[in-house]
Amino acid sequence: MIGYLRGTVRAVLASTAVLLDVRGVGYEVHVATSEVVSVDHELELFIHTAVRADAIVLYGFATLEEREVFELLLATPGVGPSTALGALRTLSLARLVAAIEAQDVKTIATIPGVGQKTASRIVLELQGRLVLVEQSSSSSFEVNTIIEDALRALGYTATEVRDALRDTTLSSDESIALREALGLLRRA
């Protein structure tokens, strides 16, 4: 099984797929990122390998947490790879986890291909199973969301914001955490 790939994007094959060149071998990877991936861009992805009767399909994620949530979504009856990938493209990981934990069926139903019934099933199946370190308290989740929104409003990409937030110590004071994230982005 392929678990991780790092390489250069040679082509964007569709809105959700890229051709990733890893030392001369091209891998077609369906990506969860909602960011526009450009040709000749260096990309690191954690991979979920799906083996079907007619194909081997690779799905790529920026973090291990995203891959784990994708795999949990796949285990939910009625949720296939396209829907699970769409969930991570539509909602940030933090917002998806928060919606599931808060039993917010309405937010989950905004995912393409997910109606009220499937959204309810996702909540039923996954509530309590998505305990992530970054959402350990509601205040740190709120700070994370505030900073994410502020950095996006300043023009930073979702990938840049995600990387900065990963390395930022989230305190209860948004301004301190925002300053730290901005400092990390300026150095990058």
**% of the chain with per-residue pLDDT over 90:** 42
The band of 176, judged by pLDDT with boundaries at 50, 70 and 90, is confident
Within 10 angstroms of residue 86's Cβ, the number of other Cβ atoms is 19
Residue 75 to residue 137: CA distance in whole angstroms: 26
**121-136: average pLDDT:** 73
Predicted pLDDT at 135: 46
Run of H or E residues at 140 = helix 138-153
Residue 50 to residue 24: CA distance in whole angstroms: 22
Residue 60 to residue 29: CA distance in whole angstroms: 6
Tokens of 167: 């390395």
pTM above the 0.85 mark? Answer: no
Domains of the chain (ranges, CATH numbers): 4-61 (2.40.50.140), 64-134 (1.10.150.20), 137-187 (no CATH)
**138-162: average pLDDT:** 75
Predicted pLDDT at 145: 74
For all residues of the chain together, what is the average pLDDT?
84
**103-119: average pLDDT:** 92
Residue 70 to residue 76: CA distance in whole angstroms: 10
Residue 67 to residue 69: CA distance in whole angstroms: 5
**65-88: average pLDDT:** 92
Tokens of 111: 């995912």
Predicted pLDDT at 142: 66
Tokens of 31: 């990506």
Instruction: Name the residue with higher pLDDT: 53 or 142.
Output: 53
**131-157: average pLDDT:** 67
The band of 154, judged by pLDDT with boundaries at 50, 70 and 90, is confident
Residue 29's DSSP bridge partners are 18, 58
Q: Is the pLDDT of residue 81 over 90?
A: yes
Lowest mean pLDDT among 57-66, 92-101, 136-145: 136-145
Predicted pLDDT at 178: 82
Predicted pLDDT at 134: 41
**1-5: average pLDDT:** 91
Reported as a single tens digit per residue, the pLDDT across 12-33 is: 887 789 999 999 999 999 998 7
Within 10 angstroms of residue 57's Cβ, the number of other Cβ atoms is 15
